[in-house]
Amino acid sequence: MARPLHIELSGGLYHVTSRGDRREDICFSETDREAWLALFAQVCARFNWICHAYCLMTNHYHLVLETPEGNLAKGMRQLNGVYTQFVNRVHGRVGHVFQGRHKAILVEKDSYLLDLSRYVVLNPVRAGMVNDVGDWQWSSFPAMIGVVPNPDWLQTASIRSFASYLSGTSMRERN
């Protein structure tokens, strides 16, 4: 039986995740993380995506993406496929890096963008990888609060109040 198609809308906002095969790591070094970010930037430019938030973890990633042209599947195939080729070539591996295809949930922009972005960047804190969200450099959080330059592919204007929103949460909520 064929897999059900993902819903793809022009202007759709998605929470996208992709996990390592057998929940194994997808990044094995800082160089791998940098390569993934560079590739993600290329895919955003090529497919005209607007990224509102992202977090690259050790064995998965989260994206908050807007697709003006309704081309999520094509871009995700490019992102995961090219990254898999990179990892296999650099690390002398063969086979899958990601477990199946990506998961994409269509979300309501006006009512959910801020909460979803907060959820995405707090992922390393909830996973116990860092105590403070600012300590995880592999997310959009540093750019959201102006600590690092905002890349062209990252749209933070719609969540300018993010830092104050996040600072209003308790440590219990963050964990």
Q: What is the pLDDT of residues 91-132, one digit of tens each?
A: 999 999 999 999 999 998 878 898 999 999 999 999 999 999
Q: What is the pLDDT of residues 11-59, one digit of tens each?
A: 999 999 999 999 999 999 999 999 999 999 999 999 999 999 999 999 9
Measure the CA–CA gap between 160 and 158, rounded to whole angstroms.
6
Extract the tokens encoding 15. Answer: 């929470």
Measure the CA–CA gap between 129 and 127, rounded to whole angstroms.
6
Calculated CA dihedral for residues 105, 68, 101, 45, nearest 10 degrees: -130
* Domains recognised in the chain with CATH numbers: 12-174 (3.30.70.1290)
* Contacts for 139 with CB less than 8 Å, ≥ 6 apart: 53, 54, 55, 56, 120, 121, 123, 124, 133
Identify whether the C-beta of residue 48 lies closer than 8 Å to the C-beta of residue 75.
Answer: no
Q: Would the pLDDT of 135 be above 60? A: yes
Q: Would the pLDDT of 163 be above 50? A: yes
Q: Would the pLDDT of 83 be above 70? A: yes
* Contacts for 63 with CB less than 8 Å, ≥ 6 apart: 14, 15, 16, 17, 51, 53, 54, 120
What predicted TM-score, i.e. pTM, was given to this entire model?
0.89
